Amino acid sequence: MEGIRISSQQRDGFVVVVVRGELDIVTSRRFDEFLIEVRRDADHIIVDLSAVDFMDTGSLAVIVGHWKQVTAAGGTLALAGARYRYTKTLWITGLADRLPLYESVDAAVAAGRPGTGGAAAASQS
């Protein structure tokens, strides 16, 4: 319950959202609100998770929700710098293999606008 700090910056056509701290049942709501705000003006988003110390499945659901909507609208949402030890839920759920995941923000930017990073797009049916 250390709380989080979230900020965003422009970089090469992406909006990079930097999250620091713990993403849990309390803070994931703020994370969600922040992403809603960012998406008003941006179609290509990179979420920098390198300073995240904890991530629960609820926070993961926030990411999945935005990822589904962004990709359905033709945009991209990539995750960068996630550390296995602190964001284990990404791997336990198997979503690390399905969401566009990059070593670092640099790698995500270098990949350009890779769509979904090779993963199948979510169906909204």
Partner 1 sequence: MQQSPRGQGAGSEIAGLKARYGALRQAAALPGADPAPLLEAALAELDAAVAALVPNGDADSRGDAGQGSSAAAHAERRLLHAVFQQAPVPLFLIGGDGTVRRVNAAASDLLGSGPGYATGKAFTAFIDLPSRPAAATHLAAAARKGETRQFRCGLLTATGAVEHALAVHPVSTQGNAAHLVVAVTSAEAARTGRRGKQRAEPGAEVVQAMTRRLDLVMAATRILLENITYSEPVALQRYARLLARELAAWVIVDVEGDGQRLRRQHVSGPEGQRAEKLANAVAAVDPVPESGPYQVHESGSTLLIAHAEDPAALGDGPDGVPLLMLLGATSVLSVPLTDGEHAYGVLTLARWTGHPHFEIADVGLVEELGEQLALAIRVDRMFRRRVDIADALQTSLLPRQVRQIPGTKIAGTHVAATTAAEASGDFYDVYPSRDGWGIAIGDVCGKGPDTAAVTAAARHAIRALAHLDSDPTAVLRGINDIMLTEDFGGRFVTAHAGHLSWREGRLHLSLASAGHPGPVLLRPDGRTQMLNGGGLPLGIFPDAEPATQEVDLEPGDVVFLYTDGLTSACGPDLVQFEERLTDELAALASKEPEALVTRVRDVVLELCRGELRDEMTMLALRVGEPD
Q: Find, among 19, 43, 42, the residue nearest to 32 by Cα.
A: 19
98 scored as a contact of partner 1 (CB under 8 A): yes
Which residues lie below 8 Å from residue 61, measured CB to CB, with a gap of 6+? Answer: none
36 scored as a contact of partner 1 (CB under 8 A): no
Site string for partner 1, 5-34 (x = CB under 8 A): -------------------xxx-xx-----
| Burial zone of 87 (CB within 10 Å; 0-12 exposed, 13-18 middle, 19+ buried) | buried
72 scored as a contact of partner 1 (CB under 8 A): no
Contact footprint for partner 1 (CB under 8 A): 1, 24-26, 28-29, 53-54, 56-58, 60-68, 88-89, 92-95, 98, 120, 122-125
